[in-house]
């Protein structure tokens, strides 16, 4: 089946930029998503990118997509303690396939 991979942990200092990486295998992916999950809560859609785009920027969030390498990244500028959460990459081909999640810890 299709697969989505992410690094499991990332620690950054408050004010620095965070970059969370994701790779996927589905060649038919039409959209790629980033979701945020805080402890004990459901999923919050952060942003998504259409597969024919290279970049999308939304305030502090920048998504980069390298379709050739099937690589997606999420950059969070000026990371704050409130950004500490698990970030899931997901691709949508026929259904959603989620990565394992990257746990972002923001250190004061």
Partner 1 sequence: GAVVSQHPSWVICKSGTSVKIECRSLDFQATTMFWYRQFPKQSLMLMATSNEGSKATYEQGVEKDKFLINHASLTLSTLTVTSAHPEDSSFYICSARDSQGLAREQYFGPGTRLTVT
CB 53 within 8 A of CB 65: yes
Beta carbon of residue 99, minimum distance to partner 1 (angstroms, whole number): 6
Q: Which of 13, 54, 66, 96 binds partner 1 (CB under 8 A)?
A: 96
For residue 27, how many C-alpha atoms fall within 13 Å in the half-sphere facing its CB? Answer: 1
Q: Considering CB under 8 A, how many residues would be counted as binding partner 1? A: 18
Comparing CB distances to partner 1, the nearer of 5 and 16 is 5
88: contact with partner 1 by CB under 8 A: yes
For residues 69 and 48, give the distance between their C-alpha atoms in angstroms, rounded to a whole number.
Answer: 18
73 interacts with partner 1 by CB under 8 A:
no
User: What tokens appear for 84 in the block?
Assistant: 């500490």
Task: Work out which of 14, 21, 46, 98 binds partner 1, going by CB under 8 A.
Answer: 98
Are 102 and 87 spatial neighbours (Cβ–Cβ below 8 Å)?
A: yes
> For the window 18-57, what string marks contact with partner 1 as x by the rule CB under 8 A?
------------xx---x----xxxx-x--x---------
CB-based contacts of 32: which residues, under 8 Å, 6+ apart? 22, 24, 48, 49, 51, 63, 65, 72, 89, 90, 91, 92
Q: Which residues bind partner 1 (CB under 8 A)?
A: 30-31, 35, 40-43, 45, 48, 88, 92, 95-96, 98-101, 103
């Amino acid at each position: 089946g299709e697969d989505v991979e992410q690094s499991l942990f990332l620690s950054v200092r408050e004010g620095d930029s965070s970059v969370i990486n994701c790779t996927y295998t589905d060649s038919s992916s039409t959209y790629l998503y980033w979701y945020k999950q805080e402890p004990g809560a459901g999923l919050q859609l952060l942003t998504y990118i259409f597969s024919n785009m290279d970049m999308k920027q939304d305030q502090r969030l920048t998504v980069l997509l390298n379709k050739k390498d099937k690589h997606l990244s999420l950059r969070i500028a000026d990371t704050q303690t409130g950004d500490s959460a698990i970030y899931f990459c997901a691709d949508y081909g026929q259904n959603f396939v989620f990565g394992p999640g990257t746990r972002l810890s923001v250190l004061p």
